């Protein structure tokens, strides 16, 4: 995917929402200093059933991820089903007696395909258990995702030809953030990142349930606006089911960004801020988007936000978009 082509797809994606052609912004909901503006589909997309995400794939046992045993930065994923599988950036994976990992770039696995996926270790290193099977704990922390994105964006903008996400992300920086995050949560062992995520999910379960129940049933994404009217996160799939199944995202959002001392924006103001973000995406310059020619994803930078978009298999449309501070 060329840089111009990737930028054009980002612009067209934003326009799909702005023009109410495929998606529309719903009524904002507010909680503890943040406003979440839901995105809902207006009609069935021709590609709406042509992929499942990692959570759905694990749930239906159509995704098998195993330890290769020969590299820390990659593990092996196999799609045993009949639909493409999207494995999202920041998915945290655990294997018995091996090293827990975080996916550092979204990957699409076609039916029957086996592919190495880029990862980083998220706890103190020890031996790799070749053949060990991974399972998912859902999305990682927003703070680690932001650090990973900053490193990837800097790397791809510096040298797109030689860019590889698994080498663009500095392992020592990941461990540093893991330690900081664990200590913030009061964990005795600062290397137990997955335990910290479990603690976060338990702490935020009720709030996340409340948020989900307040969103329209067919919500496929949200734009998150802070009390100052700034967009701080954007997460959207082309299928509502994928958004609803992803574990950990809303939980991390509630723990890391919500602030009970802040007053959220009123509905109309939050909706207007969400529109402003989409307008910026519609007008994004080519030099703010970067992608390798053989990649199905592109990195984008928009003011303070960083993130990626993933191209739908067999389509010019954006399948998945994720931005954060």
Q: In this model, does residue 3 exceed pLDDT 70?
A: no
Boundaries of every domain in the chain: 3-68+139-324
Would you place residue 45 in the very low, low, confident or very high pLDDT band (cuts 50, 70, 90)? Answer: low
- Cβ neighbours of residue 9 closer than 8 Å, sequence gap 6 or more: 1, 298, 309, 311, 316, 317, 318
Mean pLDDT along residues 212-225: 96
- The answer to whether the CB of 221 falls within 8 A of the CB of 233 is no
> What are the b/e assignments for 254-290, b being 16+ CB within 10 Å?
bbbbbeeeeebbeeeebbebbeebbeebbebeeebbb
Model pLDDT, residue 127: 83
pLDDT tens track for 271-309 = 999 999 999 999 999 999 999 888 889 999 998 999 999
Q: Of all residues in the chain, what percent carry a pLDDT higher than 70?
A: 97
Q: What is the mean pLDDT of the chain?
A: 93
Model pLDDT, residue 118: 98
Mean pLDDT along residues 163-188: 95
Model pLDDT, residue 297: 92
Mean pLDDT along residues 56-62: 97
Model pLDDT, residue 21: 87
Model pLDDT, residue 6: 87
SS3 (DSSP) at 153 = helix
Mean pLDDT along residues 239-261: 92
Q: Which tokens go with 10?
A: 């980002």
Choose between 311 and 321: higher pLDDT.
321
Helix, strand, coil percentages, rounded to 5, for the chain = 35, 25, 40
């Amino acid at each position: 995917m060329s840089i111009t082509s990737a930028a054009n797809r980002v612009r067209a994606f934003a326009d799909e929402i702005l023009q109410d052609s495929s998606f529309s912004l719903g009524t904002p909901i507010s909680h503890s200093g943040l406003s979440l503006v839901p995105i809902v589909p207006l009609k069935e997309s021709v590609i709406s059933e042509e992929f499942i995400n990692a959570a759905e794939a694990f749930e239906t046992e159509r995704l098998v991820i195993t330890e290769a045993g020969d590299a820390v930065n990659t593990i092996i994923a196999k799609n045993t089903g009949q639909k493409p599988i999207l494995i999202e950036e920041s998915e945290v994976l655990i294997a018995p007696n091996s090293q827990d990992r975080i996916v550092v770039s979204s990957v699409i696995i076609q039916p029957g395909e086996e592919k190495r996926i880029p990862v980083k270790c998220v706890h103190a290193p020890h031996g790799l258990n070749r053949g060990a099977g991974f399972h998912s704990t859902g999305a990682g922390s927003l703070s680690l995702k932001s650090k990973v994105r900053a490193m990837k964006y800097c790397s791809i903008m510096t040298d797109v030809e030689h860019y590889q996400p698994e080498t663009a992300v500095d392992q020592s920086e990941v461990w540093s953030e893991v330690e900081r995050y664990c200590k913030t949560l009061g964990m005795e062992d600062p290397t137990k990142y997955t335990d910290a995520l479990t603690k976060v999910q338990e702490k935020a379960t009720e709030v996340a349930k409340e948020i989900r129940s307040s969103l329209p049933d067919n919500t496929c994404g949200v734009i998150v606006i802070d009390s100052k009217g700034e967009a701080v996160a954007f997460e959207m799939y082309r299928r509502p089911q994928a958004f609803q199944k992803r574990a950990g995202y809303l939980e991390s959002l509630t723990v890391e960004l919500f602030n009970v001392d802040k007053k959220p924006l009123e509905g109309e103001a939050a909706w207007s801020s969400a529109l402003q973000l989409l307008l910026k995406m519609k007008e994004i310059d080519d030099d703010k988007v970067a992608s390798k020619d053989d990649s199905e994803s592109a990195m984008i930078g928009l003011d303070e936000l960083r993130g990626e978009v993933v191209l739908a298999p067999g389509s010019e449309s954006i399948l998945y978009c994720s931005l954060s501070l």
